[in-house]
Structure 1
């Protein structure tokens, strides 16, 4: 007599119609509302000359999660479809990477504001952070690729790449936690004299960081005015930073980095523990329950997005140099200055020539009069 073997434990458990249909629909609706909100904020700011790319990235996360729970919904109604199962697992593994990168980016901007002489564009810190972002994307590719192998029929292949998948999850857990040591270093390392005197640019025209406030384009200086504030008399390259802490609300800004980092670290750690359990394990541990998946993915990411929207990260962590148009306008303004100087020189030359001609004429007239 053949006895059917129980299915192995799986993060998020195997879907059930009575639970997953309702849960997936609620998640889809919630992420759709946040997607509309993020895009509204992005377009409204953009219309006022305030380009904040992370708002667009937050919109992208919401759209990715809509697809994630749509696949979970399809997985619930078609549990025997292997392609749908793989797609659902892949989208669960991806998506949150956007929040990791954004939170690290915000913490990097805090560090740059505290230590501009150490974190300017092209510095060691700046280049290390760029490489770190690239490494996160590489590990994401590894994780997405290996997720599909979970359902591979070749046991040898599964065992061969299992350690890559585990390494990726550990790396993501570190990435989720990384903003905390960056923030700690920003305030633990004393500011040098160069940090205190280094020329910086920040959006000083932003009046507040709460409510429905949007920057008034009439209060924004022109590119010429904005850059001339520092460039005059200083040959060092200015650093674009977030507003300094003496403008207030520093604690709230730091909380908007640290609290999401704690939430995302815990959620990612749970998924990491799940990846380390044996694929042959048939007893379902606590971290593989369905409710755990909804808490660690849906609730954790929704709470982070809501906190960032209500906390107005689009104003707190905005730097003017986000938009390359600033550099173009500044370059055009500089060209206009050079042309103006050239015109002044040409006008002065013409005046001098005219004066010289007049002098020659007077001399000639003076020389002819005695003879007459």
Structure 2
């Protein structure tokens, strides 16, 4: 056995023995894996890490959610690559077909992108399993996993917001409420950056105990926020149906008349939410500035009257989708995403080495790879399938904002440009 093999055999009773010898003084063993692999390669060559030595090295590393991939990870990762590839094609097919008919539901374009990110993430995991010392590949696989699931959590919160707005149109459409929601959506970017940096830095640099603790705290905070985001859709729905319509003052600190009967309208041309239903081409109603509906609050379609019947709704929707189904869909998908996020969050508070070599037992069952494949693989597949089968593009669609009519003169457009209202055709609201 090589020199590293001798070191390995002498450290089999101590999880961090070999790493401690190769880690600079004052730094925590298990950090700086990227420069450590470079150092080992320079000293002993790439072939020095034979399977027995590699097993000790991996067992001495900090345990990570999903575990460090091995040959047994190739098959399940390849399965999820295939599944998410099919889901991406399905989302893009529906989005393109909707778009060609004037129904712009950009969330399905985003969900298709989410599936592509999952394909890349599991594909990188396959590559990582071929050589666990490919630290850059491991970091990239983790990044794609974190970014993608946060997008779905944010999207479920958006759908919950739309249910809230149908129940409380005067509040859900209020400026202060939309600003608050926009800030929450924007904070997602910060959570992503926190999670990536906190996860990656200990592998890129050698850290002392103080700085390692800081990274661990950042990862834990990001994981907690991820759970809250996953559950936010349910919180919005519970709030919407716990508080009677009209009880939340939509004005807050802004002065203005209190609307007790806000005017609302929805896409009445949506007559079904069948998996294979597509609205007839040309049935979509385009709202122009100057039309009465242009100033109404846009809400999702449903047989249930907005604001419990208090709102002055334009055109009833007797054949529309049921609000009960939309609520159940968000509650179920949010629960699945919350459970998935909760397991990963719990793992960030269990700070142990991986173990699993010689007479050292595996540290904790939550770090086994099957936990990742079940809760961050199978659960997310179920969520994606549910959003497809129950046609979220129809249930949570709100009519596009009003656009300039074709008979507006150039002088009218010039005057409008000086006002607060945009004159160019506005893009669809992210649905």
TM range (shorter): 0.7 to 0.9
Distance 2:409 2:236 in 1: 39
Please list the CA deviations of residues 120-154 of structure 1 after superposition, one character each: whole Å capped at 9, or x if unmatched: 1x522111111111112211111012211232322
Distance 1:338 1:76 in 2: 63
Deviation of the 1:16 alpha carbon: 2.1
Distance 1:315 1:136 in 2: 26
Please list the CA deviations of residues 209-263 of structure 1 after superposition, one character each: whole Å capped at 9, or x if unmatched: 1131112232223434x962436xxxxx421110144245221111110001110
1:24 pairs with 77, 95, 98, which one? 77
Distance 1:318 1:240 in 2: 9
2:343 pairs with 252, 257, 270, which one? 270
**Distance change (3 Å), C-alpha of 1:110 and 1:16:** same
1:179 pairs with 228, 233, 238, which one? 233
Please list the CA deviations of residues 72-109 of structure 1 after superposition, one character each: whole Å capped at 9, or x if unmatched: 00111121222122222222332101111110000000
Aligned to 1:12: 66
**Distance change (3 Å), C-alpha of 1:300 and 1:177:** same
Root mean square deviation of aligned Cα: 2.3
Bigger shift: residues 298-307 or 80-89: 80-89
Please list the CA deviations of residues 38-84 of structure 1 after superposition, one character each: whole Å capped at 9, or x if unmatched: 00000000000000010011001101001100110011112122212
Distance 1:150 1:90 in 2: 14
1:315 pairs with 386, 394, 402, which one? 394
Distance 1:177 1:131 in 2: 17
Aligned to 1:220: 284
Is 1:141 matched up with 2:193? yes
Is 1:305 matched up with 2:384? yes
Distance 1:16 1:195 in 2: 61
Aligned to 1:197: 261
**Distance change (3 Å), C-alpha of 1:131 and 1:245:** farther
**Distance change (3 Å), C-alpha of 1:251 and 1:291:** same
Aligned to 1:356: none
Q: TM-score, normalised by structure 2?
A: 0.71
Local SS of the residue matching 1:197: coil
Higher alpha-carbon Rg: 1
1:327 pairs with 402, 407, 431, which one? 402
Deviation of the 1:276 alpha carbon: 1.0
Count of aligned positions: 326
Is 1:230 matched up with 2:309? no
Is 1:250 matched up with 2:329? no
Asked whether the equivalents of residues 116 and 195 of structure 1 are also in contact (C-alpha less than 8 Å), the reply is no
Asked whether the equivalents of residues 113 and 244 of structure 1 are also in contact (C-alpha less than 8 Å), the reply is no
Distance 2:369 2:188 in 1: 27
Deviation of the 1:309 alpha carbon: 0.1
2:297 pairs with 239, 245, 251, which one? 239
Q: TM-score, normalised by structure 1?
A: 0.82
